[in-house]
Amino acid sequence: MKVKPAPSKNRVVVEVGKTDTSLLESIGSQTFALRKILVPVDFSKCSLKALNYAVAFARQFKASITLLYVVQPYYLPGDFAGGVDYVALEKEIEENSLRELKALADKHIGKKASYNVLLQTGRPVDQISRTADELNIDLIVISTHGHTGLKHVVLGSTAENVVRHAPCPVLTVRVEEHEFVNG
């Protein structure tokens, strides 16, 4: 199965090959009912690209977007903490992140689709999956940085783990790939 740009702007075409006929038979005359899209962002170039994809889908299907940023708490053990007020620090990070998230939504979504912003604290994979489940999300659009080798082992892959644990379909978007969304 391939997804390609359609001749009209902000549309996509799904090509189904001969081996995908059983998929077509199971779908029959059903249509996609895409109403709620979750877009986890980390403010990177990759996540902005995923947001562009989500906006195109939201416009085509008249779906709403929930833009999610997860603040991952970092605590230094014992003597390394150096008297840091973690409560105040976490509050400041959350306030700044929420402000940045709202600005990102205004700039990249604006009036193109309905949206809301959401800030969670915790492990990103857990919060993304939990949020998708609680909000009854139809599709998660998430970016992947494409780390391989040692970097992948050390950093892990949030996108890969979201795909494994999400309660709904997940579209992963790489920063360097064939484009099918214009704008």
pLDDT digits (tens, 9 = 90+) for 2-55: 666 667 766 766 676 766 666 556 555 556 788 999 999 998 888 898 999 999
Q: Which CATH class is domain 31-174?
A: alpha beta
At 150, is the pLDDT very low, low, confident or very high (cuts 50, 70, 90)? very low
Q: How many CA atoms lie within 13 A of 162 on its CB side?
A: 29
pLDDT at 109 over 70: yes
pLDDT computed for residue 33 by the predictor: 81
Nearest-5° angle of CA 21, CA 60, CA 62? Answer: 120
pTM above 0.85, yes or no: no
The position carrying tokens 């973690």 is 86
- Nearest alpha carbon to residue 116 among 71, 78, 66, 41: 66
The pLDDT value given to residue 153:
45
Question: What 3-state DSSP class applies to 161?
Answer: helix
How high is the pLDDT of residue 154? 42
Q: How many CA atoms does the CB half-sphere of 132 hold within 13 Å?
A: 23
CA distance 159 to 161: 5
Q: CA-based angle 113:57:103, to the nearest 5?
A: 40
Extended beta strands in the chain, E state = 2-5, 12-15, 36-40, 64-71, 115-121, 139-144, 170-174
- How high is the pLDDT of residue 72? 83
Dihedral sign of CA atoms 75, 79, 82, 84 in order:
positive
* The pLDDT of residue 152: 43
CA nearest 56: which of 10, 4, 106? 10
For residue 155, the model assigns a pLDDT of: 43
